[in-house]
């Protein structure tokens, strides 16, 4: 195949002076083309069978309906009783939406695709136009129930609210005296309760071969269960009346209190459920027996050297008793000596106090001649105050100085100096003294 050449640019073109050709076109590559697509198939079908547009569309629509009906018939269909078919669509809150769509065996496990297919099946079966065409009664009550079920289950928020109160998915626990396999009876109960857990995955009950760690984790998980379960679905309908706001707020408060009460009751119910299961779990008793046997084994091992340890303990006890007796005798002796020392110190203190008071009396209360009674009282009060405030060591020195000072004036000076030191130490004030102050 010849190489394509770019056309020559006219000389009067503005780009003729600046245009530069670096290379020529690459060779063309032949490719085989095949018509595809739904439009081409539709055209080929009409051309092959000699149909018009309207004929082909009608025939294809009939085939699609037949395929859908065949698909519907091929699936298992739940039985529809007369009570469900005659439900009042206005009482939609009391209807079992999963059962209306034929999904009772799936319930909260039903996928979005299963819900869509079930809805399509029910619509094809119960559409009022189809009933009218087949000569049936033109009653669209159950059809409205189907539409309401689809509205609830196709909306994630509304479906979760309904799943929160769907009693059809609950599994009742066995009685405390129920016979049978514990794990087969209680396993489905907690599997059903686990659908409300915010934390996933939810641990399973297990079986008799489960290890203690897994069993402890299971009960800890459900004792600290974090539930997303809410009860808005059971709320009383709030009146859509903007003119009566007080009534609307009253209903909202009432609904909130009811939800909180149901939440509290549900928490208590689950707690009791876990308590009952734990009390009946055969593994718990088995683990306790194993722990008891392990303790007994350790005790037996410790008792292997018990005699030797007992002998050593007896010797140690005797030694401790001997030492304790010695310590007790020493303590008694120390206490006696301490008591004697205290008595001696007490007597010495009394003696020094007598010495102090005697020195005042012997010095005629520091005056010549007759001493007025008032002066005697004031002087003795000052002496008593000094004796009260002075400590034992200073009292000894004070009495020693008084005994070594025969002069009356010097004697009073000793009293005055001692009182001044006590005042300076903050043990008494100068105003407390009447006679012996500086």
- pLDDT tens by residue, 83-121: 888 888 888 889 999 999 999 999 999 999 999 999 999
In whole angstroms, what is the distance from residue 393 CA to residue 345 CA? 11
Cβ-defined contacts of 204-207 (< 8 Å, 24+): 205/277, 206/283, 207/183
Instruction: For 35-79, write each residue's pLDDT tens digit.
Output: 888 888 888 888 888 888 888 888 887 776 666 555 544 456 788
User: In the predicted model, what is the mean pLDDT of the chain?
Assistant: 84
**pLDDT tops 50 at residue 296:** yes
Instruction: For 175-190, write each residue's pLDDT tens digit.
Output: 888 888 999 999 999 9
For 79-127, where are the alpha helices, taking DSSP H only?
82-85, 97-100, 112-126
**pLDDT tops 60 at residue 342:** yes
Asked whether 122 and 102 are in contact (CB, 8 A), the reply is yes
**pLDDT tops 80 at residue 304:** no
Question: For 367-382, what is the mean pLDDT?
Answer: 81
In whole angstroms, what is the distance from residue 288 CA to residue 207 CA? 17
Asked whether 149 and 168 are in contact (CB, 8 A), the reply is no
**pLDDT tops 90 at residue 14:** no
Q: Which domains does the chain have, with CATH numbers?
A: 73-168 (1.10.287.110), 199-295 (no CATH), 310-432 (1.10.8.840)
What pLDDT score does 274 carry?
96
Non-local (6+) Cβ contacts of 24 within 8 A are 3, 4, 5, 6
Length of the chain: 438
Can you read off the two tokens belonging to residue 418? 């001692």
349 or 91: which leads in pLDDT: 91
Which residues make beta-bridge pairs with 227? 197
**pLDDT tops 50 at residue 263:** yes
**pLDDT tops 80 at residue 395:** no
Q: What does DSSP assign to residue 227?
A: B
In whole angstroms, what is the distance from residue 193 CA to residue 265 CA? 15
**pLDDT tops 70 at residue 270:** yes
């Amino acid at each position: 195949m010849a190489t394509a050449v770019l056309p020559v640019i006219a000389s009067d073109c503005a780009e003729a002076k600046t245009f530069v050709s670096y290379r020529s076109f690459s060779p063309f590559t032949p490719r085989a083309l095949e018509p595809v697509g739904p439009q081409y198939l539709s055209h080929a079908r009409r051309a092959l069978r000699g149909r018009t547009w309207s004929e082909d569309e009608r025939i294809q629509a009939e085939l699609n309906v037949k395929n859908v009906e065949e698909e519907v018939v091929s699936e298992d269909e739940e039985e529809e009783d007369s009570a469900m078919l005659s439900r009042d669509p206005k009482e939609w809150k009391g209807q079992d939406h999963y059962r209306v769509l034929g999904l009772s065996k799936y319930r909260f496990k039903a996928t979005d695709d299963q819900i869509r297919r079930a809805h399509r099946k029910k619509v094809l079966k119960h559409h009022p136009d189809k009933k009218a065409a087949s000569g049936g009664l033109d009653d669209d009550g159950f059809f409205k129930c189907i539409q309401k079920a689809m509205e609830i289950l196709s909306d994630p928020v509304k479906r979760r609210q309904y799943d929160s109160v769907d009693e059809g998915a609950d599994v009742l626990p066995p009685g405390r005296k129920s016979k049978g396999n514990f794990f087969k009876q209680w396993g489905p109960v907690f599997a059903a309760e686990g659908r409300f857990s915010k934390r996933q995955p939810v641990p399973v009950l297990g079986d008799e071969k489960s290890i203690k760690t897994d069993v402890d984790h299971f009960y800890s998980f459900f004792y600290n269960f974090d539930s997303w379960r809410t009860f808005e679905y059971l709320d009383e309908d709030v009146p859509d009346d903007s003119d009566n706001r007080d009534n609307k707020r009253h209903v909202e408060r009432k609904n909130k209190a009811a939800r909180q009460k149901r939440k509290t009751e549900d928490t208590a119910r689950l707690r009791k459920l876990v308590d009952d299961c734990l009390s009946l779990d055969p593994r718990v008793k088995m683990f306790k027996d194993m722990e008891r046997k392990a303790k007994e084994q350790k005790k037996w091992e410790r008792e292997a050297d018990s005699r030797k340890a007992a002998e050593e303990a007896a010797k140690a006890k005797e030694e401790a008793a001997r030492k304790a007796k010695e310590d007790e005798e020493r303590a008694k002796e120390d206490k006696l000596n301490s008591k004697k020392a205290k008595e001696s110190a007490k007597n010495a203190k009394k003696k020094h106090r007598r010495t102090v008071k005697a020195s005042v009396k012997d010095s005629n209360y520091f005056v010549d001649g007759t001493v007025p009674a008032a002066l005697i009282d004031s002087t003795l009060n000052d002496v008593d105050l000094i004796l009260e405030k002075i400590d034992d060591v200073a009292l000894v020195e004070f009495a020693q100085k008084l005994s070594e000072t025969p002069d009356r004036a010097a004697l009073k000076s000793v009293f005055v100096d001692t009182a001044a030191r006590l005042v300076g130490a903050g043990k008494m004030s100068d105003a407390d003294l009447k006679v012996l102050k500086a």
